[in-house]
Structure 1
Amino acid sequence: MSGLLLRLAGPMQSWGEHSAFGERDTLPHPSRSGLVGMFAAAQGVGRDEPLDRYDALRLTVRVDSPGLRMSDFQTVGGGLPRERTVPTAEGKRRPENATTIVTRKAFLADAVFTVAVTGPGTEDIGAALVSPHWQTYLGRRSFVPDPLLLLRRGVADPVEELRTGVPLPRVRVPEGAESVPVDLVVEGGADGDDPRTGGDAGRSRTTLNDVPRSFASLRRLYASREVRVDSVRVPVALVSRGWRDYQDRLFAYVKEHR
């Protein structure tokens, strides 16, 4: 099925699945809620609007570089008079010795992912990403994506392009190897097996609570989905020799398929 190809890269990105105020987690790969939020922002879909238009989309994530998981240690309300600190749920103020709130926010540093998006409506999503209504970001508003967010749209088989076409950053290549392994995060369990992935299909499976049903501020709702990680082999010719070579290959790939 036709669709589009995205490249998610930047100094920092975060893809929370069960975050609370004090502890903001991140998955090791882009979440469905984060990607749907990106599409909705680009298309100008308000937080109170229904999201069922995205239900039929299928997302396949290639982990080009997992990055480094890090955590920000932040405080809220420290050093302020009690009457100016963060209020409690009851509208009161915290005791004098508990006015500072500690938060920890996890993120991925220098990670790179390529995402194949297939299904109805991808042409409209691609057009919106070229000229977004609201700014797109990598999980948090301050995490701005690198250039070449949208690699291609109108791709006949985006999943096959992950295996055979889109350049890879530099990775270790054994001497004489003709292919290298990469991870694909695929939606669906055994019933969603895709023969094109090949390799060690279903190496790990998990259930994520990241299917958005509502982004409304006071009633955010999420459903669950099953994903698996497949280890597949891609041609060594896709591997770049360094950062500059990787940039050159990406721009050449995009230019070639305009």
Structure 2
Amino acid sequence: MAPWTPFPHAGDYRFDAASVKQQWSRLHSGDAEPCPQDAAVLQAWALFHSGEFEQAAAAGLSAGGAGITAANKATAIYANYLEPKEKKRLDLFMQVAERAQAQAEHEPENANAWYWHAYALGRYSQGISVAKALAQGLGGKVRNALEKTMALSPRHADARIALGTFHAEVIDKVGALIGGMTYGAKKEQGLLLFQEALRINPGSAIGMIEYANALVMLEGDTKMQEATQLYEKAAAIEPLDARERLDVEMARLELQED
């Protein structure tokens, strides 16, 4: 298999197990992942936060246990931001979805097993088209897994962002009436989830970006100014690690294109 595309800012973020452990609460304020005790798992996370996503995925799988979550996050973030080939992107998302589902079956109380199953299925759904994914029944699986994540981990900001995105995209594709009746998607609930996520993790660039996108999807041009302000706020963040850098760069690129 061809090597993964490298993180374009290699060397800008250098983490080891000790520095990851020291900054854990800040680095994981979005996903509320518990700090691992296993040195091999911590090393996988150090690779992830440094932007060495392929090595992080391999190290996480090799470590097993809590390392599976590190591998899933590394693979999903790489696929979402850096993989140029659409078929490979979709294949990677399905790998994560299946691996996380097996993890959730083995560890049903593991919030991030449910979260990465939902995230990967959600991104896969966007890749094949939300309408097609809904027809295949993927929407219900995404929603159920995100609600399970939040029940297990009440301060999981990223699950709120993903569920808010679910509400917005369903309504955008099938309308408020069918979206509400068939898929339980509601505009007010979606927007509230973003607001809650940003209260829990106010420095989340991806939270600001997805909230901005949802505002435009759900409210139209009347919210364009507020959406632009959210993008500007995201673009101004000083990233702590490689993943945050990818979010901030995405916001900056969007502002340049506008």
Structure with greater Cα Rg: 1
Q: State TM-score, norm by structure 2.
A: 0.24
Higher share in helix? 2
The structure whose RCO (Cα within 8 Å, separation 6+) is larger is 1
Q: TM-score, normalised by structure 1?
A: 0.24
